[in-house]
Every structure is written in C-alpha cells, then in structure tokens.
Chain A
Amino acid sequence: MIDPRHLYILATVLAALGMWRLLPRADAGGRLGGAALVAVALGLFAAGLPGLSNWIADCVFYVLAAVTIVAAICTVTFRNPVYCAIWFGLSLLGTAGLLLLVGAQFLAIATVVVYAGAILVTFLFVLMLAQPEGRASYDRVSFESLLAAVASIAILGLLTVAIAGVFQRSGESTAFPAPPQSAELHQKVLHPLHTAQLGAELFGRWLIAVEVAGVLLLVALVGAAVIVLHARSGRQSSGPQHPQSGGPQQW
C-alpha cells in the first residue's frame, strides 16, 4: 500500500507538469500528453478523497467536480477567447451544481445569476467586439506558463490535502471544524427561509462590509463615467454639435 502523502505529492507534480504542457505556449506541442498527465493526476487526487453518504451522491459529486475542473482547465488552455469564456461559464455552472448538492440553494443560484448571467455575458460582449478579426499572436499565448502552472496546481494540491486531511499527525484533531450535525444543518442551511437568514446576517452583523463593498463598486462606476466623459470632452471641443441654439435649420 502506498503512503497517501506520497500519492498526493506525485499527483501534484504530475498535474503541474501536465498543466505546463497544456497551457497555450508559443511552441505548441505535447498538449495531448499534457492532458493525459493532468487526467492521471486528477484521478490520483480523487482516489484519496473520502466517500459521501451514498453512491448516488458520490456519482453526482464526481461528475460535477469533473465538469468544473475540466472546464476550468479548458478556460485557461484554449486559444480562442470566446471559447475560454464559454468554458468558464460551464465551470461556473458546475460550481453551482456542487453548491446545490450540499443544499446551499441560494448560493448556487446566485452564482449563476451574478457570474454566469451578468459578468460573463459582459465579458463575452467585450471579447466579441474587441477581436472580430486577426487575433494577434501575443493575445493567444500564455506568458510565464511554467510559473502559472506551478502556482495553480500548488493551490489545487494544498486544498485537496487540507480537505482530505492526510497530513495530520496521529492524535491531532482536524484543522477544520467537523461537519455540522443534521439538526443544526436543517436549522441553518436547509431551512426554507435560509435566504432570509443569510440576508439578516449580511445586513445585520456584516452591514459595514456590505456597505464598503457597495461604495467600492460605486467609486468604480463613477470613475468609469468620469473617464468616458473626460475622453469625450477632450475630443469633442470642436466635434459634432447638435444645432440646439439656432432652431431647426434648413438645408
């Protein structure tokens, strides 16, 4: 039997290597091998995870997790930005499915509304307007692909290790609090009014944080408006003007 720690280290190294081959570098090649490496590494990660309550939940979880991770990998490895955005959307849908699986209905649906429904469509809009023809080569390669691969896979490995909890010394309690008991779960997350509870929490205990975030967004909005108006006034000093003063004029 292999020590699970070695398994995770091996998986992390393999995934980083595969990710580096997969990223759109200037010298394309070896991407198929990269995909295979990443697939093997993900399998190794999954092998160490504890099972869920029943086999249906297990199946749904692994399908959703695979969709999310594969779509996320495709997001950073595809060359056409429009396809990247679509894969990102799929990844978000997978995330929403995972949230739904654990019973966080509001969070799941809100993820779709905010990210997939609003932000990503705006991205798509800009991408389509920005590069209709002739994508420049520097737009289609990944800079610092090695560092990017190592950083992303390091995060993936660390998170998996933290969740699976294989690096604990014997006798040490888990770093994470135990999953809530059923009664508590039904009182909080699975309660029919959990959205109201979430709202009360946000606008009660965390009111200042919410307000600060709102002000930040407002500042960004005003800033965007100022930039646009400034650019226009600078360009338009002798630019087009409507014949506001002279009344309707005849040709």
Chain B
Amino acid sequence: MLAQTIEALVKIGLVLGGVMTASAYLVLVERWIAAWVQDRLGPNRVGIPLTNIRLWGLGQPIADGVKLMLKGEAVPKHVDKPLYYLAPAVVFLGAILVFAVIPFGSVLPRGIFPESWQLHEPIELVIAPQLDVGMIYVLAVGGIAVYGVVLGGWGSNNKYSFFGAIRSAAQLISYEIPLGLGILGVVLATGSLRLDAIIAQQADSGWWNIVQQPLGFLVFTVAAFAEATRLPFDLPEAEQELVGGYHTEYSGIKLMLLLVSEFLHMIAAAFLMVVLFLGGWHIWGLTDGIDSPGGELVTWPVAVLRVVIMLAKVLAVILFFMIARWSWPRFRFDQLMQIAWRVMIPWGLANLGVVAIMIEYGDRIGAATGIDWRIWMALIGFATLIIVWAATVIADPSRTDNRPRRDLPVPSFLADEAN
C-alpha cells in the first residue's frame, strides 16, 4: 500500500516537473521558430545571470517565469472576485489533469523492486493505470477546461473578455464533437478505451492508425488544434479584435497559469495524436517484436528506447503545431463554425462508418482476396479520404457570400462615396 502510494507520487512528480519544464522551454522553442520563419534572430541573449555567458538564450524561460511571478499584480475593481480568482485555477486544473492517463512510455522491466513491496509489476509508465476509461476521461477533463475560460471571461466583467469567453465556449463545444468522432474510430479498431491498449494494438499489428484511418487522423488533428486554441483556431484571444480575449484583465501569476495551460493543452494534444494515430512508443525494427502488455521481455534498453521514441514523436508533433502557427491565417468565426459542423463532423462520421464496416467484414474481404485485410483497410481509408475531400471541394459547404449588401441603409459617413 505504502509502496504503491510512493510509486504514484514519484510518477506524479516526474510528469508534473517534466511537463511544466517542457512548457517553459517550448515557449522558447516557439519564439525561435517564429524568428526563423520571419527571418529574425529571436531570443538569444539571456544566459547565466551576472556573467556574459549567453548560452543561446536558454535562460529566457526562467527570466520570463520570474518576471511574471514577481511583477505587480493588478486586480481591477470591477471584476466578480470569486469567479475571477477561480478561473485560472480551473483552467490549469483542466489542462494538467489530462496527464493522469497519458502514458509517457510503456513499462519498466520486471524484478527491479523487492517482492515484499507488493507493487503491480511490471510498472506502467502512466500515473493512473487503473483507469479503464482513459479516453473518455480525456474528453471529460477537456470539458472542465471550458469552464475556466467561460468563468474568466464572465468574472472579468469586461466586454472583450466576455466576447472571448463566448467565442471560446462555442468553439470548444463545437469541436468536441469531431474530436470525439476521431477518437471513436480508433477506439472501435482497438476495442478498448485504455491508451496503453491503443498503443499495444498498433505495435502488435505493426500498422499505425494514421495509415489505417487517415481521415480520422485529419479530423482529430483539426479538432485538436481547435481544442488547444492554437492558430489558425485562436479566435478566443484574437488580439486584433479582442485585446487578449478572456485573459485581458489578468496579470502576474494568474496570467502565467492561463498561458501555461494553453501550452499544456498543446502538449496533451500532441501526446494524444502520438498515442492514437502515430503508434506511441512503437517503431518498426526497433521496439516491436517484444510484446507489450506482459512486459516479460522488456529489458532496460528497450524500456528507455520506448520512452525516447515516444517523446521524440511528441516533440515532432509539437514542432508541427508551431510551424502551422505561421502557415495559416486565423479563420473568421462563421468559417470556424462551418468547418466544424459542415466539414469535420461529416468527415468524422464517414470515417467512423468505413472503420466500422472494415472491422466487421475486413476478415472476410481478406480471406476472399488473399491479401492482408489491413492493406485493404489502408487502401479503403485513403480512398475514402480522397472521395470525401473531392466531395467537399465540389460541394464547398463553407462558402459564404461576401458581396456587399444593398438592402442595408448606407451609413451617413459613406453616403457621399456611395452616390
């Protein structure tokens, strides 16, 4: 009992420390990438204090953090105090709780701890391996995070904050549906809601879900961008329109919590993309062949290699997030809603239908043709992607009429130009 508690505490410490440090340094990486895209130098000055050693700017995150914590904190008089104070805590809680079910490796080798400690060996590298409904838990915690944003906007008692909160609530609720549809396809293929089972299924078969369900991957990626409110989906805090969105009135450490939470959302989204679609810790030739759940054959090199591969994939996805930020302009709000309801949800449903049919009849198709049914599934998956894409391009459901409206009265200050 005591040993298990210590095990859980050690894992919590590892994940919390790792994730918080990572989000601090990812801010630096993001600024470097922004500088690279825009042909600037980026932050490269802050190194070791009181010396001239610059260390390529690696001291920047620490300086930023200290500055945000020590800066004077202004609480406006017009805010709704309880909600204003509650909001950053809820946002941060919603962002950090997801990591309870996200694995950051597979398992440790057996037999490193004495029998008398009564640990459930092999030790799984996830905080809460007991939770059998990890995938729904992720959705539930994502739902909690919406509260923080809405409360922050309402509690700030400021119209820009409020607009940001309203937009954010509408966006997050809408994109939860495609997110769920993207997850459902994977859950259907795996037959389990456990994240480690989803990785194990991909490792055992050798077919990653991105190959099996490319359409599902696309839907999930777009929805994950929207849930993390990254560009091009950062409408809740569109600076040009809303000052700072729901965190306009926040400063000091509360602002830091809100900003860190956004990075945590992105890290969690990257982990989920890797777990659900990119094979988790699996890579062909390096970490397969040693079957996972039993963990009998997992040796130290394999265990460490799996963690490294997983984190490398996550970092690659995060870099994709960051480059995407400088590649697309922000959507308009009606475009955002149309993408969710008229494009992403039908795509998700199409993917779900195809996956369900292939799970049910794949064996028979494979037996009839003599080709592995997973090849068929990949082929049909890509064919569906092309067909659905073409149908969307032809039907163009997100087209809007942007021509000027003649039926509205012309404003007086334009009357001269109009005539």
- A interface residue numbers (CB < 8 A to B): 82-83, 86, 89, 105-106, 109-110, 112-113, 116-118, 121-122, 124-125, 128-129, 192-196, 240-244, 248-249, 251
- Complex partner residue of A113 from B143, B170, B417, CB under 8 angstroms: B143
A121 to chain B, nearest CB (A): 5
- Complex partner residue of B150 from A116, A118, A121, A193, CB under 8 angstroms: A121
> Once the chains bind, are A117 and B142 in contact (CB under 8 Å)?
yes
Of B28-36, B128-136, B352-360, B383-391, the segment with at least 4 beta carbons within 8 Å of chain A is: B128-136
> Once the chains bind, are A121 and B169 in contact (CB under 8 Å)?
yes
Number of interface residues of B (CB under 8 A): 39
Q: Does B259 contact A (CB under 8 A)?
A: no
Instruction: Determine the chain A residues whose CB is within 8 A of the CB of B83 once the complex forms.
Output: 82-83, 86
Given that A113-B139, A116-B144, A240-B407 are known contacts, is A105 also in contact with B132, CB under 8 Å in the complex?
yes
- Complex partner residue of B133 from A82, A106, A122, CB under 8 angstroms: A106
> Once the chains bind, are A195 and B132 in contact (CB under 8 Å)?
yes
Given that A86-B151, A125-B169 are known contacts, is A117 also in contact with B146, CB under 8 Å in the complex?
yes
Q: Does B408 contact A (CB under 8 A)?
A: yes
> Once the chains bind, are B162 and A128 in contact (CB under 8 Å)?
yes
| For the complex of A and B, 8 pairs with smallest distance between CB atoms | A117-B143, A112-B140, A113-B140, A109-B136, A251-B418, A192-B132, A105-B133, A109-B140
> Once the chains bind, are A109 and B137 in contact (CB under 8 Å)?
yes
Instruction: Determine the chain A residues whose CB is within 8 A of the CB of B404 once the complex forms.
Output: 249, 251
Question: Could you give, for residues 166-200 of chain B, a 1 whenever the CB lies within 8 Å of some chain A CB and a 0 otherwise?
Answer: 10011001001000000000000001111000000
Instruction: Determine the chain A residues whose CB is within 8 A of the CB of B133 once the complex forms.
Output: 105-106, 109, 195
How far is B352's CA from A170's CA once the two chains are assembled, in angstroms?
57
24 contacts between A and B (CB under 8 A): A86-B151, A105-B131, A110-B136, A113-B139, A113-B140, A116-B147, A117-B140, A117-B176, A118-B143, A122-B173, A124-B169, A125-B150, A125-B169, A125-B170, A128-B154, A128-B162, A129-B166, A192-B192, A240-B405, A242-B401, A243-B407, A249-B404, A249-B406, A251-B410
> Once the chains bind, are A116 and B406 in contact (CB under 8 Å)?
no
B172 to chain A, nearest CB (A): 8
> Once the chains bind, are A195 and B193 in contact (CB under 8 Å)?
yes
Instruction: Determine the chain B residues whose CB is within 8 A of the CB of A124 once the complex forms.
Output: 147, 150, 169
Instruction: Determine the chain A residues whose CB is within 8 A of the CB of B191 once the complex forms.
Output: 196
How far is B142's CA from A227's CA once the two chains are assembled, in angstroms?
32
- B interface residue numbers (CB < 8 A to A): 82-83, 86, 131-133, 136-137, 139-140, 142-144, 146-147, 150-151, 154, 162, 165-166, 169-170, 173, 176, 191-194, 401, 403-408, 410, 417-418
Instruction: Determine the chain B residues whose CB is within 8 A of the CB of A116 once the complex forms.
Output: 140, 143-144, 147
Instruction: Determine the chain B residues whose CB is within 8 A of the CB of A192 once the complex forms.
Output: 132, 192, 194
In addition to A117-B144, A243-B406, 14 A-B residue pairs with Cβ atoms within 8 Å of each other are A83-B82, A105-B133, A109-B136, A109-B140, A112-B140, A116-B143, A117-B140, A122-B173, A124-B150, A124-B169, A125-B150, A241-B407, A242-B403, A251-B410
Instruction: Determine the chain B residues whose CB is within 8 A of the CB of A249 once the complex forms.
Output: 403-404, 406
Q: Which residue of B lies closest to A56 (CB)?
A: B1
How far is B139's CA from A251's CA once the two chains are assembled, in angstroms?
50
How far is B140's CA from A30's CA once the two chains are assembled, in angstroms?
39
Instruction: Determine the chain B residues whose CB is within 8 A of the CB of A248 once the complex forms.
Output: 403
Instruction: Determine the chain B residues whose CB is within 8 A of the CB of A117 once the complex forms.
Output: 139-140, 142-144, 146, 176
Q: Which residue of A lies closest to B82 (CB)?
A: A83
Q: Which residue of B lies closest to A190 (CB)?
A: B132
How far is B408's CA from A136's CA once the two chains are assembled, in angstroms?
35
How far is B83's CA from A19's CA once the two chains are assembled, in angstroms?
25
How far is B403's CA from A242's CA once the two chains are assembled, in angstroms?
8
Which label, helix, strand, loop or mixed, suits the secondary structure of the A interface? helix
Q: Which residue of A lies closest to B86 (CB)?
A: A86
Instruction: Determine the chain A residues whose CB is within 8 A of the CB of B401 once the complex forms.
Output: 242, 244
B145 to chain A, nearest CB (A): 9
> Once the chains bind, are A89 and B147 in contact (CB under 8 Å)?
yes
How far is B132's CA from A210's CA once the two chains are assembled, in angstroms?
24
Residue among B143, B165, B166, B417 with most chain A CB within 10 A: B143
Q: Which residue of B lies closest to A132 (CB)?
A: B162
- Complex partner residue of A243 from B139, B193, B405, CB under 8 angstroms: B405
How far is B151's CA from A128's CA once the two chains are assembled, in angstroms?
10
How far is B140's CA from A117's CA once the two chains are assembled, in angstroms?
6
> Once the chains bind, are B147 and A121 in contact (CB under 8 Å)?
yes
B176 to chain A, nearest CB (A): 7
Instruction: Determine the chain A residues whose CB is within 8 A of the CB of B150 once the complex forms.
Output: 121, 124-125, 128
> Once the chains bind, are B132 and A194 in contact (CB under 8 Å)?
yes
- Complex partner residue of B143 from A121, A125, A195, CB under 8 angstroms: A121
Given that A121-B146, A243-B403 are known contacts, is A113 also in contact with B132, CB under 8 Å in the complex?
no
How far is B150's CA from A188's CA once the two chains are assembled, in angstroms?
39
How far is B212's CA from A235's CA once the two chains are assembled, in angstroms?
49
How far is B307's CA from A145's CA once the two chains are assembled, in angstroms?
60
Residue among B176, B191, B193 with most chain A CB within 10 A: B193
How far is B151's CA from A112's CA once the two chains are assembled, in angstroms?
18
Instruction: Determine the chain B residues whose CB is within 8 A of the CB of A105 once the complex forms.
Output: 131-133
Instruction: Determine the chain A residues whose CB is within 8 A of the CB of B194 once the complex forms.
Output: 192
Q: Which residue of B lies closest to A243 (CB)?
A: B406
Q: Which residue of A lies closest to B143 (CB)?
A: A117
Instruction: Determine the chain B residues whose CB is within 8 A of the CB of A82 once the complex forms.
Output: 83, 154
How far is B118's CA from A52's CA once the two chains are assembled, in angstroms?
24
How far is B404's CA from A243's CA once the two chains are assembled, in angstroms?
8
How far is B83's CA from A109's CA once the two chains are assembled, in angstroms?
25
How far is B83's CA from A117's CA once the two chains are assembled, in angstroms?
18
> Once the chains bind, are B417 and A251 in contact (CB under 8 Å)?
yes
Q: Which residue of B lies closest to A120 (CB)?
A: B147
> Once the chains bind, are B408 and A240 in contact (CB under 8 Å)?
yes
How far is B15's CA from A237's CA once the two chains are assembled, in angstroms?
60
